[in-house]
Homo-oligomer: A and B are copies of this chain.
Amino acid sequence: MKLTPDAAGTFAIAPTPFHHDGKIDETSIDRLTDFYAEVGCEGVTVLGILGEAPKLDAAEAEAVAVRFVKRAKAMQVIVGVSAPGFATMRALARASMEAGAAGVMIAPPPSLRTDEQITGYFRQAVEAIGDDIPWVLQDYPLTLSVVMTPDVIRRIVMENPSCVMLKHEDWPGLEKITRLREFQKDGSLRPLSILTGNGGLFLDFEMERGADGAMTGYCFPDMLVDVVKLSKAGQRDLAHNLFDAHLPLIRYEQQQGVGLAVRKYVLKKRGIIASSAQRKPGSVLSETAREEVDYLLSRLARIDKRADLELRSSAAE
C-alpha cells in the first residue's frame, strides 16, 4: 500500500542493527520490525540519517530496505533515499518500491541556499526517481543547514503531486506547522501529512499545532504511539503527563552523536536488538553515560513500567 497524504500516527525511525564486527544483523532487523508492529506503529522509516545509511554500500542499503519491507507486513515502510547523486537515489528508490515499500524520503543536500535552488532540486529529484513514487520531504535545517520557509515547502508540494508527507524537524518549528495548516485552510496548499521528528522533543505541542503524528527514533516508540493517541483524543493533560515523564530521557537522547548510542543501548536493554554496535565512525557510551541512562530509566520506571528494564537487562548481558 502506497503512502498517501492521509498517513498519520507513529512511524518509527529504525536504526540499522549491526553485529560487533560491523556486519548487518538481519535477525535483529526482523525483531525490531516485529517490535514496532506490536507497540502500534503505523509505519517504519529505514535508512534515515540516524539509520547510519551513508555507512552502507549500495547493495547493503538495498538489502536492508528489502528486509524491513518484507517483514513489515501491514506496516508501511518508508525508505530514505537521499544521496549525493540522482543515479544512486533512483536505483534505491525503484528497488525499494518494487520490493513493496510505501514511499521514499528525500532530504535536500547541504549545499542548497536559495529558494530557487531548493525547489529546483526537488523537481529534479522527482524527475530522477519517477513521479509515480510517493515521497516524504525532510525539513531538517539543524543538521542539513538548508532552511525552507513555509512558502517554499508549499511550492515544493504544489509543484510535485507525488510529495505526500512532510517530515517536520525544523527547530523551532511550532509556528511552521501552524502556518502550513493555515495554508491548507485558505486553500493554497493541498492535503499533506505532517509527521514530526527532532527526537520527539516537542511532540506534545506539535500534535496540538496540527501534526498528524510522529516520525522519530526515540527508544520508546510505545510512548510516541500513546502520546499521539492521547493528543488526538483531546486528553491534553494525560498526553503531557506521559510525555513529561519521558522528557529527561528524550532530552538525553537528543545529544548529537550520543543519541544513536543511547537509542541502541536502550533497544538492546529492551531485548530488541542483539548489539548496540555502530559502524565506524561511530560513537560509544562511556560507563558514566550508561549509568546516567540507567538512572533515567529507573526514574522513568516509577511512572512508566515499560522502562523497568533491570531484569531483562541483566538477562541480556
Q: A: which residues have CB within 8 A of B?
A: 52, 54-60, 83-88, 90-91, 110, 113-117, 120-121, 124, 127-128, 146-149, 151-152, 171-172, 174-175, 178, 201-202, 204-205, 208-209, 240, 244, 247-248, 251-252, 255-258, 279-281, 286, 288-289, 292, 299
Contacts and interface: CB of A to CB of B under 8 A. Distances in A.
Secondary structure call for the A interface? helix
Contact of A256 (B84, B172, B286, B289): B172
Contacts of A83: 54
Given A57-B91, A84-B84, 8 more contacts: A57-B85, A85-B279, A87-B279, A117-B147, A172-B255, A174-B292, A201-B251, A209-B288
A171 B259 CA distance: 11
A113 to B, nearest CB: 4
B55 A86 contact: yes
Which of A120, A121, A251, A279 has the largest count of B CB atoms less than 10 A from its CB?
A251
A124 B279 CA distance: 11
Contacts of A124: 280-281
Contacts of A57: 58, 85, 87-88, 90-91
A172 B199 CA distance: 15
Contacts of A281: 86, 120-121, 124
A146 B152 CA distance: 17
20 contacts: A55-B85, A86-B280, A114-B147, A114-B148, A114-B152, A115-B149, A117-B147, A124-B280, A124-B281, A127-B280, A128-B280, A171-B255, A172-B255, A174-B292, A202-B255, A205-B292, A240-B299, A244-B244, A244-B247, A247-B251
B115 A288 contact: no
